[in-house]
Amino acid sequence: MLDGKTIGFIGGGNMAEAIIKGLLAGGFSPAAIMVAEPTPFRREFLTSTYGVELHEENLDIARRADILLLAVKPQVAASVLAGLEQVISPDKLIISIMAGISTGFIEESFNNGARVVRVMPNTPALIQAAATAICPGRKATQQDLEIAREIFSRVGTVVTLAEKQMDAVTGLSGSGPGYVFAFIEALADAGVKNGLPRDVAAQLAVQTVVGSARMAAETGEHPALLREKVTSPGGTTIAGLHTLENGRFRGLIMDAVDSASQRSKELSGK
């Protein structure tokens, strides 16, 4: 579905770069990718690294791209959208990865029947291992959804949800890597506290999380069953789990997702 289409990125940050990498790895031509990025160093880096077309001004991209991918911070969404209004028409597909910004907000900003798909990826897109959710706006077609799915399937796993569920996605998988990195850091620090060299503790902590995640993904078993398999009666794991339970480990994780989801709602003005 992407054959013959051009994709324009408004914003050339890490997530835009990850998507570009995925597109190029999947055989998409760099000549069909354009990026608007205000920072000179970033423009130079992207064009020298990936061979894509770079511009300073958003309008230079928005006028020409068939698919416009909005990859800027949600705090500047209103000003960016206002600057694009004059060149957006219903025949242009708008894909937004702006956290917390609803399809309705974008549609109202353009007020011309714009076709919008909202997307929530996460940072493992940088290594083509993202968890991404997509949802359609009021005017988006099934083909628009399929185009968004094709783009983001090149950087990981994609699910389609209703927009009312997107704030929960932001709190879970959007912010989730931050929780996992904090957990890895804590595991490594604990190893150092108990006498391991820092590099060894870090290596073991990372591989423990990678291996455990792969087991969950590849076996398809419920995490509780996998946990039971490593928890022997009267053993070391149950002693550690008891400490986690006393500290409300699971409750704190759920609270973190709640807080991030609520912040997503605040960003969208809900």
Q: Which parts are annotated binding residues?
A: 10-15, 58, 71-74
Cβ contacts of 36 within 8 Å, gap of 6 or more: 8, 9, 10, 11, 12, 54, 55, 56, 57, 58, 60, 61, 62
Q: Is 225 exposed, middle or buried (0-12, 13-18, 19+ CB in 10 A)?
A: exposed
Question: In this structure, what are the phi and psi dihedrals at residue 5, rounded to the nearest 5 degrees?
Answer: -100, 150
Residues of 90-100 as b/e, b for ≥16 C-beta within 10 angstroms? eebbbbbbbbb
Q: Which parts are annotated binding residues for NADPH?
A: 58
Q: Which parts are annotated binding residues for NADP(+)?
A: 10-15, 71-74
- Give how far Cα 196 sits from Cα of 106, 125, 186, 239, 240, Å: 51, 32, 13, 20, 18
Is residue 97 within 8 A of residue 103, CB to CB? The reply is no
Tell me the sheet residues that pair with 70.
Answer: 10, 96
Within the chain, strands assigned E span: 7-10, 33-36, 53-55, 67-70, 93-96, 115-120, 130-136, 156-160
How far apart are alpha carbons 115 and 224 in whole angstroms? 42
Angle between helical axes of 142-153 and 14-25 (0-180°, round to 10): 90
How far apart are alpha carbons 120 and 154 in whole angstroms? 14
The token pair that represents 72 in the structure block: 């800027």
